[in-house]
Structure 1
Amino acid sequence: HGPAGRNSFAALLEASDSGEPGVATVTGLLSGAEGPGRDAEGALALDLLVVLDAPQLDVEAAALLTESLPDGARLVLAGDPGVLWSAGPGRVFADLLAARVCPQVASRRPDPGPLGELVSGIGAGELIAVEAPGKEVVIVPVRDAGEAVHRTVQLVADSVPRAIGVPAEETQVITPGHGGAVGTRALNAALKERLNPGPGRFGGFDPGDRIAHSPAPGRTVTGRVVRADAEGLHLSCAGEAVVVPKERVERTVRHGWALTAHQAVGCRWPAVVVVLPGDAAGLLSRPWVYTAFGRADRHLSVVHGVEQALPRAVAEVPAKPRTTRLPVLLAPQVPAADG
C-alpha cells in the first residue's frame, strides 16, 4: 500500500533468490505507473495478484482491483485481521473472512521474542507482562502532558540510541491523534527542535526534516525533506524523489517524527515509541493498541499515562462497527421454497 512496504517486501524476495519479483503498490498498479500494465482489453496483464496488508483495502480500491483482473486470474488477499481497518469506507477483508465464500489459510505463528508475545496477547484481548531481558519492551510512566512530551523526546534522542543502539532516524513515535498537548503536532514540534532545529523557511520545513506526505486522502508516505526551490518542496520518500508544489505543502505535508497509528499501518521500524497521554484514554481500542505496538521490530517504549484504560481497551474495546452492502452481497443465496 506504500513504497516502504513495497521496497521491504521486494528486498525479502531478492534475498530468497526468487528471480525477478513483480512488486508494486496498489495505487501504482491501478494507475499503470507500476506493475505489468494492462492488456488489449484493459485488464491487468497478470495471472496471479497477491495483495499484502489487505485490511487496508477500502471498498472502492477493492472493487477497482477485482474489476481489473482478467478472466481466469487468481486473487490472493493476505493480511492481519487484527490491525486498524482502511482509511476509506468498508471492511472488505473482515467481511470476506466472515462470509467464508472463498478458501482461507490462517497462520498462527507470532513474531518471535517478547514483542511477538506482547502483540499476540493484545490480539487475543489480553495485555500481558512479558519478560524483556534485552529491553525489548520498556514502560515509561508519566503524570501529565508536559512530562509525556519531555520523556518522548528524551527516549528518541538519547535513551533508545544509547541503550538499544537504534539511531533517532530509525525510531518512530506513534500517538493517538494530531491535536492536543501530546498529539503529533506538539510532539513533532518538540522533536524538530531537538533533532533538526531550523527556521522552517519553506512552509515550516527545513532540509533533513522527517515528514509524512499525504498525496491523497487516507494515504501517507513517510520520508525526508531534501531541499526547497521554485518548483516546491523536494522530498525523498522510500528512495523516490517527490516534488510537492508550494501551494499544496500546507495541505499534504506534515512533520513525521510522530505519526498516528492509522498513518503507521503497513510500516515497521527498528524502534517505536508509543505515547499514551492521559487524555487519550477514550481513543484507545484493541485494534489501535495492536497496530501501534506491532510496528516495532526490535524495541518498543510505551510512554504510559492512561493507567488502567490501556488493559481495559485491550480487553473490552473492539473495532468500531462499519456497515456496507458487502456482507449482504456475499451472503449465500437461499432458493425460495416451491409452492
Structure 2
Amino acid sequence: MNSELTQEQVIRGTIRRVTFHNPSNGYSVLQVSVSGKGDPLTVVGYSTRASIGTQVIVRGVYKEHPKYGKQMAANSITETQPSSPDGIEKYLASGMIKGIGQRTAERIVEAFGEETIEIICKEPGRVAKLPGVGRHKAALLKEALSQQADMQAIMRFLLEHNVTQGLATRIHEKYGNRAVEVLSKDPYLLAREMRGVGFQTADTIAMNLGLAPDAPQRLRAGLYYALERAGDDGHCFLPLAQLLQRAIVLLGIGDDAGVDLSHPLEALIEEGYILKNEENIYLRHLFKAEEFVTEFIFKRVSEPNTDPLDPSLVEESISQSEKILNLALSAEQQVAVHEAAKQRLLIITGGPGCGKTTLIRALTLLFKKAKKRLFLAAPTGRAAQRMSQVCDHGASTIHRLLRFDPVRRTFLHGINDPLPADALIVDEASMIDISLAKDLFSAVPREAALILVGDKDQLPSVGPGRVFGDLVANSGIKTISLSRLFRRKEESTITSVAHMINAGIVPQIPEPDGVTKSDAYFIFKKDPEEAARLIEKLVADQVPKKFGFDRHDICVLTPSNRGELGAEKLNARLQEALNPRSNSGSEQELLVGSNWLRLGDRVCQRVNNYQIDDFGVFNGDMGQIYSVDRRNQTLVVELWDGRLIKYTSSDLYQLSLAYAVTVHRSQGSEIPCVVLALHDSHYTLLERQLIYTAITRAKKLLIIVGSKRALAIASKRASASKRYTNLQSRLERLIAGR
C-alpha cells in the first residue's frame, strides 16, 4: 500500500474555497491550494474559522473517496496569519468582519503592504484615516485580529497537548479565552461540564499538560469517576475499601506508591459531591434517591388505605373482565384484583405466559368501572405503546408522564405538583433504577394506588439499584406472584424454554431440520466468525424468506458490545448486508465517531435527552434514519412511536446502530423475531438472568446461534453479580420496627 495513504502528512496552503463549515462544531470541507500542487486539495476536518484566504497548516492522512477522489482527512487544521500582501488582502476580504469587503481590503493593503496586520493591531488610528475606513471599521479590524490571535494561541496550546481538533473546537466554544486558564487549573472540569467527555479523555489531557499523577485534583476526579463507573455497573454505593481499590487501579498509582486518598476523599465529602454512610460511599444524588424511596415505601405499607374500593364492585368488575376478555381469571389473578382495590402499594411479579398482561387489562377495567383517574406507564416507549394497545387506555413512558422542564432541568410533576391520579399502574417495573424510582414515586399522590408489575427474574435495571427485586424480596410489602402457566392453542417453545432456564434446567431446543415446527431453534456454530456470518445470512435472507418476517421485525441480541459476536462488529456486518453505501449514496451518510450512519439505518438512543423535543428521547429508544443533511451535519430519526426527531451535530454521538443490541439494551422490548448470539466467547457474561431476559424478548420466533456449552453455562449459572444497594435492608429495619 502507498505509504502516502497511511502515514500522517503535513501540508501548508491557503484556503481558496469553503465548501462547508458548521460553526457549532467546526466541521469543515475546504479547498486548499498548495504551492506547486496544481488543483486545490479537498481537506475534511475541524477548523475554528474557515475563511477564504486564510493560510493553514494541515496534518492528516490522504484518503480516496469513492465519489470525490483524493482527499486529506485532517487530524488538525492550524491557521496562520498571512504574510504576503496578496494573502493579507484575501484574509481581510474573507468576510470575517462585517463591512470590510474587497475594495476596502485592497485600499488598506495598498497603504501598508506586508506591515498591514501589525499596523492594524498597534496603530489603528493610521488605518482609520484611510478613505472609506474610519474609526469604527478600524476598531472592528483590530478587535477581530486580536480575537483571531487569541483563538489561534488557544488552539495551538490545545493541539500541542494532543487534544483532538474537534474537541479543541468545542473547548474553545465553551470557555473562550479562558480555555487555557481553565484546563491548566483543573482539566477534569471537562468531564463534569462537557457532554461526551469522560474521565479518560480529561485525564489524557491532564497528563499531557504535565499534571502530576498524585495531584489533588486528579485524585479527587479519580475517586469521583470510580463511583460514577460503579453506578454504571448498577451499584448505588461502594464500600470504602472497594472504592479506594478501584480508584488506585483507575489512577494507575499502585498500592506501593504511598499515595494517601483520604484527603481527596474528605474534600469531595466536604464539597458535597459524595456522602459517607457508615463505611459506604455514595454519590450524593444516589444516597438521596435511596433515602427517599425507602421513606416512600415505608409510608405506603404502614399507613392504611382510607378509601378502598367496594368489594361488591370488585366482584362485578372481575365478572365483567372475564366476559370482555373471553376467559376466566385464575385464582392468583382474582386475588391480585382484590388486593389492588385496597392496597396503597401492590407488587405483581410473574414470568412469560403467566398472565401479567391479562391482569393489567383486568385492573384497568376495575379502576375505570370505579370511575377512578387511572394512569398507565412503562419505562420504554415500546412497552408503553404495547400497554396502551392491549388495555385500550392511554399509556406513556414514565419520563413523558412526569413531563421534563428543560429550563429548570427537572420534572414538572413531583412532590409539589403530583399527578392528578387515583391509581397508577407501571409495567416492566424491573427496569426502574433508583433515580427514576425517586422521580416517579415523588409524583404519586398520597391517596393514589400504586401498582408495579414486572418479572423479578429478569435482569435488573441498567441504572443503579435493584428496586423491583428488593421490593419483591421484602415480606412486609404486599406481593402477588403469578406462577400458573397459561396454555396457548399452539404450545410455545419460547415460553417453555424460558421457564426451564429460570428453573436452572438446560433446555432441549430443536435444530432446524426442515421438518420440526417450532417457534424456537438452536443452530450450533463453534467458530465465532462462522456464527457471525450465519447471523448475517439469517437476518438478511433466510428468516424473511422462510418465516415471512420483515427485516424491521428482526433484531439480533448479544451479551456483549465487544468481540466478533458483540454488538459493534455485528452491527457493522449487518449494516453492510442490509443497508450498504450503494443504497443511500455518499451524500446520505454521516461519520459519527468511527461509524457511518446512513439513510435507512436502524439506530438506538444511548442516553436520555430531555431537550431534543417536547417529550424527550430516552436511553433505549429505537428508530430509523429518515433523512440526512450532510451539509449541515444533521439527520432526522423516525422513532418507533412515529415521532420525527432532528439530531444536530452535537447530538449525533447519542446514536448508535441497532441492527444488533446488547441484552441489557433490549429490556422492555417485545420483538417479533430474536436472533440470539450465545457463544463460549461470552463466557464471563453467561448467566441465567441474562439469557432469560433475552429469550423473553422474543414474541413469535427465537433463533439461538452459538454453542450448546454456552447455553448450558448460562442456564445453570445463577447471577453472580452483587449490586451494592441498601434499599432492602433499610426497608426491613423500618418495617420490622413499626
Shift of 1:150: 0.5
Task: For structure 2, list consecutive stretches of 5 or more residues without a partner in the other structure.
Answer: 1-378, 406-411, 610-617
The size of the alignment, in residue pairs, is 325
One-letter amino acid of the structure 2 residue matched with residue 321 of structure 1: K
Compared CA separation, residues 42 and 135, structure 1 to 2 (3 A):
same
Shift of 1:86: 0.6
- 1:117 match: 496
Shift of 1:263: 0.6
- 2:647 match: 244
Matches within 5 A, 1:1-339: 1-14=379-392, 21-31=393-403, 38=413, 41-110=416-485, 112=488, 113-130=492-509, 133-198=516-581, 199=586, 201-203=589-591, 204-216=596-608, 219-229=619-629, 230=632, 232-238=634-640, 239-249=642-652, 251-305=653-707, 307-318=708-719, 320-333=721-734, 334=736
Shift of 1:154: 0.8
Partner of 1:192, secondary structure, is helix
Compared CA separation, residues 299 and 47, structure 1 to 2 (3 A):
same
Partner of 1:331, secondary structure, is helix
Please say which structure displays the higher CA radius of gyration.
Answer: 2
Shift of 1:255: 0.8
Counterpart Cα distance in 1 of 2:526 and 2:727: 45
Counterpart Cα distance in 1 of 2:704 and 2:697: 12
- 2:213 match: none
Identical counterparts, % of pairs: 27
Which whole-Å deviations, capped at 9, do the CAs of 1:138-169 have from their partners, x for residues lacking one? Answer: 11111212101110011111221122111222
Counterpart Cα distance in 2 of 1:335 and 1:267: 40
Compared CA separation, residues 190 and 328, structure 1 to 2 (3 A):
same
Larger relative helix fraction: 2
Counterpart Cα distance in 2 of 1:246 and 1:2: 25
Compared CA separation, residues 171 and 110, structure 1 to 2 (3 A):
farther
* 8 Å CA contact 1:179, 1:186 repeated in 2: yes
- 2:102 match: none
Counterpart Cα distance in 2 of 1:319 and 1:9: 32
Counterpart Cα distance in 1 of 2:388 and 2:580: 35
One-letter amino acid of the structure 2 residue matched with residue 96 of structure 1: L
- 1:17 match: none
Q: Quote the RMSD (CA, aligned, Å).
A: 2.3
* 8 Å CA contact 2:672, 2:700 repeated in 1: yes
Counterpart Cα distance in 2 of 1:166 and 1:248: 32
Compared CA separation, residues 110 and 237, structure 1 to 2 (3 A):
farther
Counterpart Cα distance in 2 of 1:231 and 1:27: 28
Shift of 1:323: 2.1
* 8 Å CA contact 2:509, 2:522 repeated in 1: no
Shift of 1:215: 3.4
Partner of 2:606, secondary structure, is strand
Counterpart Cα distance in 1 of 2:537 and 2:443: 49
Shift of 1:124: 1.4
Shift of 1:193: 0.9
Counterpart Cα distance in 2 of 1:183 and 1:64: 33
Partner of 2:625, secondary structure, is strand
Counterpart Cα distance in 1 of 2:737 and 2:658: 54
One-letter amino acid of the structure 2 residue matched with residue 326 of structure 1: L
Shift of 1:135: 3.3
One-letter amino acid of the structure 1 residue matched with residue 666 of structure 2: A
* 8 Å CA contact 1:117, 1:130 repeated in 2: no
Compared CA separation, residues 202 and 187, structure 1 to 2 (3 A):
same
Taking CA–CA contacts closer than 8 Å with sequence separation of 6 or more, which of the two structures ends up with the larger relative contact order? 1
Which whole-Å deviations, capped at 9, do the CAs of 1:193-235 have from their partners, x for residues lacking one? Answer: 1111114621211111111112329821111000122372200
Shift of 1:248: 2.1
* 8 Å CA contact 1:55, 1:93 repeated in 2: yes
Compared CA separation, residues 319 and 29, structure 1 to 2 (3 A):
farther
One-letter amino acid of the structure 1 residue matched with residue 540 of structure 2: A
Compared CA separation, residues 205 and 40, structure 1 to 2 (3 A):
closer
* 8 Å CA contact 1:110, 1:120 repeated in 2: no
One-letter amino acid of the structure 2 residue matched with residue 144 of structure 1: D
Partner of 1:93, secondary structure, is helix
